[in-house]
Amino acid sequence: MKTILITGGTGLLGKGMEETAPAGWKIVSLHQRDYKVDDARAEHLVLDIREKKLVDELFAKYKFDAVIHAAGIASVDYVEKHYAESLESNLVGTLNVTSAARRAGVYLVYVSPNAVFDGNKAPYAESAKTNPVNKYGQIKLQCEKLVTETLERYAIMRPILMYGWNHPVTRPNTVTWIYEKLQRGETVELVDDVMENPLYNLQCGDALWAMVAKRPDGIFHVAGKDRCNRYQFGLKIAKAFGLDASLIKRVDSSRFPAIAARPPNTTLSVKRMEKELGVKAVLLADGLADMKKRMRIKA
């Protein structure tokens, strides 16, 4: 039995990885706030990665065969308003995790976002020039540099806007919040000038497990098959779940002046993912249909 550490394991990405885990792996999953996850698949621990001593003790206790480092503040708007706290969570936390991984000589995948790009030259290949337009993208790019300049055995995964069933304790995502609002009969305003290729969290889980198995180096972009703006995404969600699409109103980004700047089009190229990881980009309609199926099973 091999052991993997997933930092931020209760997030949407960590949940996707837990649900797609192959046999033969013991998962140690970290989160920060004090809650208990009822889940037999992983061992969930409460540990703040900003605390170097605790991270070092963890690596002394377990012999990890791989590390997925996904923990940190990942809300674009929260980071914009709480810069110092976000630096500690992302940059200090990453330094603590990468230092321990380096000393242990363990392969690490750092999870970064599409937000490292300015959104003016899509689709983006892994070699494309970075130029973040908000503080979240800037901090995550600093973390990427920290990883590439201090580790020998590593890769960077850059997923894009992710959707899927999240743990009830963690933040909702584009599908779950739109679904809940439409279910309650509330109007949803969605912008038509931010373009992505949304990623199902179970596809992201498959891609991470492929990286753990193949141990490639360098950067991997991971995204879904179809490109759409948020308004089109909303219409597909309404259709998939049989909800009232007339509640969805088309607006542009000028409607939300208080939020952090968003790059207009960060659609990612998935050629490297498909060729080297052997993971197929999932169609939005298929990802949404799978979510619906899983909801029925739970009901």
Ligand X SMILES: NC(=O)c1ccc[n+]([C@@H]2O[C@H](COP(=O)([O-])OP(=O)(O)OC[C@H]3O[C@@H](n4cnc5c(N)ncnc54)[C@H](OP(=O)(O)O)[C@@H]3O)[C@@H](O)[C@H]2O)c1
Write the interaction track for ligand X spanning residues 116-135; mark x where CB under 6 A is met and - where it is not. --------------------
Q: How far is CA 189 from CA 241, 242, 251, 259, 262, in A?
A: 18, 18, 6, 14, 16
Q: How far is the CB of 260 from ligand X (least distance, A)?
A: 14
Q: Are 112 and 146 in contact (CB under 8 A)?
A: no
Write the interaction track for ligand X spanning residues 239-278; mark x where CB under 6 A is met and - where it is not. ----------------------------------------
Q: Of 2, 222, 12, 6, whose CA–CA distance to 109 is shortest?
A: 6
| Binding of ligand X by 12 (CB under 6 A) | yes
Q: What is the DSSP letter of 11?
A: S
| Binding of ligand X by 10 (CB under 6 A) | yes
Q: Of 105, 87, 75, 96, whose CA–CA distance to 30 is shortest?
A: 96
Q: How far is the CB of 243 from ligand X (least distance, A)?
A: 22
Count of other CB atoms within 10 angstroms of residue 18: 20
Q: Which stretch binds ligand X (CB under 6 A): 4-12, 96-104, 189-197, 236-244?
A: 4-12
Q: Of 194, 279, 293, whose CA–CA distance to 234 is shortest?
A: 194
Q: How far is the CB of 216 from ligand X (least distance, A)?
A: 18
| Binding of ligand X by 71 (CB under 6 A) | yes
Q: Restricting to residues 16-45, which ones interact with ligand X according to CB under 6 A?
A: 30-33
* Residue number, nearest CB to ligand X: 11
| Binding of ligand X by 203 (CB under 6 A) | no
Q: Are 241 and 179 in contact (CB under 8 A)?
A: yes
| Binding of ligand X by 202 (CB under 6 A) | no
Size of the site for ligand X (CB under 6 A): 31
The per-type count for the chain, helices as H runs and strands as E runs, is 11, 13
178 CA to centre of own chain: 18
Write the interaction track for ligand X spanning residues 145-164; mark x where CB under 6 A is met and - where it is not. --------------xxxx--
Q: Which residues bind ligand X (CB under 6 A)?
A: 7-14, 30-33, 48-50, 70-72, 74, 89, 93, 111, 113, 140, 159-162, 169-171
